[in-house]
Amino acid sequence: MKFRELKTENSTMLDKMADSVISWIGSTSSLVFHTLLFITSFLLPLFKVVDFEEMLLVLTTIVSLEAIYLSIFIQMSVNKSNKHIEVIKEDVNEIQEDIDEIQEDIDEIQEDIDEIQEDIDEIADDEDEDEHKEKAQKVILKSNVSNNKQEIKELKAKIHDLQAKLEDLIQKDFN
């Protein structure tokens, strides 16, 4: 399942609203809003608009409710991150399988090249003047195979790094 498919399946109106709230809570405007709210709350008793105990009661209730909702939003974010990590993990595994198949194909090609080289060597024994060309072909073929093997090793290393990063992300999400 791809990321886009996952996103459209879970994109209900409520999810979109929750995503908007989560995004806003982590913004600078949220910080400014909450700072102004607290400043205003403590200024109201100074201007004798409300009693200090009343203000503390209302402010404590609001902050408690907000903390409950924030913990729910945090858990929603963790759950979405876990789903996305699983999708990425599946993609990495598919890429690993593809690279393994490519490695097998290259090994088969190497065997074919070796057989062709043996045929070329036999022909070279019969014709001395073509010897130089055939050796050049052999070197070129082996060089191409060697380059392909090196590229596959690099791809495997990158996949290994991606898997390690993925495991780190999973560990961070659970911590």
Q: Each residue of 90-106: pLDDT tens digit?
A: 988 888 888 888 888 88
Report the pLDDT value the prediction gives residue 8, as an integer from 0 to 100: 54
For the residues 160-169, what does the mean pLDDT come to? 82
Query: CA 70 to CA 74: how far, in whole Å?
Result: 6
Number of domains forming the structure of the chain: 1
Give the integer Cα–Cα distance in Å for 55 and 147: 73
Higher per-residue confidence, 1 vs 156: 156
Domain that holds residue 120: 3-174
Which one is predicted more confidently, 68 or 105? 68
Between residues 54 and 170, the one the model is more confident about = 54
With the C-alpha atoms ordered 72, 73, 74, 75, is the resulting torsion angle positive or negative? positive
pLDDT at 50: 94
Question: What is d(CA 43, CA 169) in angstroms, rounded to the nearest whole number?
Answer: 44
To 5 degrees, how large is the angle CA 17–CA 22–CA 25? Answer: 125
pLDDT value of residue 62: 94
Count Cβ atoms below 10 Å from residue 121 Cβ, excluding itself: 13
